[in-house]
Every structure is written in structure tokens, then in C-alpha cells.
Amino acid sequence: MHKDFYKTGRERLIAQLRSAGISDERVLGAIATIPREKFVPDAIKSRAYEDTALPIGNHQTISQPYTVAFMTSALNIKPGDSVLEIGTGSGYQAATLIMLGAKVFTVERHWELYNSAKKTLDELGLSAQSRFGDGTIGWSEFAPYDAIIVTAGAPELPQSLLLQLAIGGRMIIPVGDERSQTLKYVVRKDDREFDAFDMQEFRFVPLIGKEGWTVG
């Protein structure tokens, strides 16, 4: 595929995100820079700039760009923020966070996806700490985090993740049943208290693990 094909696609995608209500210029700037075609399988690279989720293997998906933009904007990432992502998938969401200057820690439970995302990020010169394993229990070694983003649908708020938030830290996580989830925005007020707000409805693949869904 010619380079200009992707460039035009990226420009069209940015226009679509703007008309869908995404207004955070830093997030739009990151999405305008990241080559999404590098994060999708060869066979569907021509579809990389459709505003849609796409299959990445292991029955998983790279999230829809609108979803990435919405969640990233809501987290209001500042350069230097320490951010834990659960569900690395293709690595695209991690790349977006890195472009905003975050120190990114990302966890994936599928070995193939863990490896290919790590390789893609390395090839693009984007630096993240990646871990293979169950992200529902977080990554205590590097806690507390200024922000946590969960990119798979949980049955409820995982306690371990709440406890790995810094005071004043925020978490965005889809919670619901397997068909649809409400995006929840949680802020840690102090040691014991959390505020939680409901945002939009989305549909994610399930968060599977100790504090998520059990494998079916």
C-alpha cells in the first residue's frame, strides 16, 4: 500500500473523530502521528484507518479509534504520568499514551499478542514496560499509578486495580455483562474512598482473569 494511502486515511480519520466530538488536540495529534497500519495484520492493513475495531488474532481486537480517543481524552494524561494499561492487544493504545508523554506499563494475557505488540512498539521506537500475565491483579511492582486504563470489559471493578491507583489517580474501565458495558471513570480520593462516574456505553472483549471473567 502506498504511503499516501495511509496519510489520507489518517487525515480522514481525524476529521471523523472531530465530527464525532473528540476535541482534545493532544490526543488528535497523537492519533494523527501513529501509523495504525503497523498495529493490524497484513491482510487488513488497507482498513487501518476505518473508525472501527479490527481483528488482531486470538479472537481479540484493536479498539475502534473513537474508543481510544474517548478513553485517552477522559484520562487527561500529562507528560510523566505513570499509566498502567490492562489489555495491550496490538499495542496501539499504549502507543497513544506514550505519544502523550506517559510512562506506560502494559499487561496482556495472550502470549502472541504480548510478543507482537512489544515488537511493533520497539520497531517504532516507542518505549513501554510490557508484561505477559493476568492484568486483573494489576502490576504491583510499579504501583501506584497516576492513571489506569482497562481495555477489556470487566464484570465489576477489580479491587487490586483500585488499590494500585495513586491518591488523586484516575481509572477508566468498561464494566457490564458480555454484551455491553458502561465506561466507568473512577478517582481515588484517599486511602479508602473512591468516586465513580458513569460515562458512555461501549462494547469490549471480556477481561478474563482472577478479578475478571472466568474462561468459559
Around Cβ 63, how many Cβ atoms within 10 Å?
A: 23
Residue 116 known to be catalytic: no
Q: State whether residue 103 is helix, strand or coil.
A: strand
CA 154 to CA 175: how far, in whole Å?
5
Assess contact for 83 and 103: CB atoms under 8 A.
yes
**Which residue in the list 19, 46, 63, 140 is annotated as catalytic?**
63
CA 27 to CA 56: how far, in whole Å?
23
CA 133 to CA 110: how far, in whole Å?
8
Site string for ligand SAM, 124-153 (x = CB under 6 A): ----------xxx--------------xx-
When asked if residue 113 is in the footprint of ligand SAM (CB under 6 A), the reply is yes
Q: Which stretch in 14-22, 88-96, 176-184, 192-200 sits in contact with ligand SAM by CB under 6 A?
A: 88-96
Site string for ligand SAM, 12-41 (x = CB under 6 A): ------------------------------
Residues in contact with ligand SAM by CB under 6 A are: 60-63, 86-87, 89-90, 92-93, 107-110, 113, 134-136, 151-152, 204-205, 207-209, 212
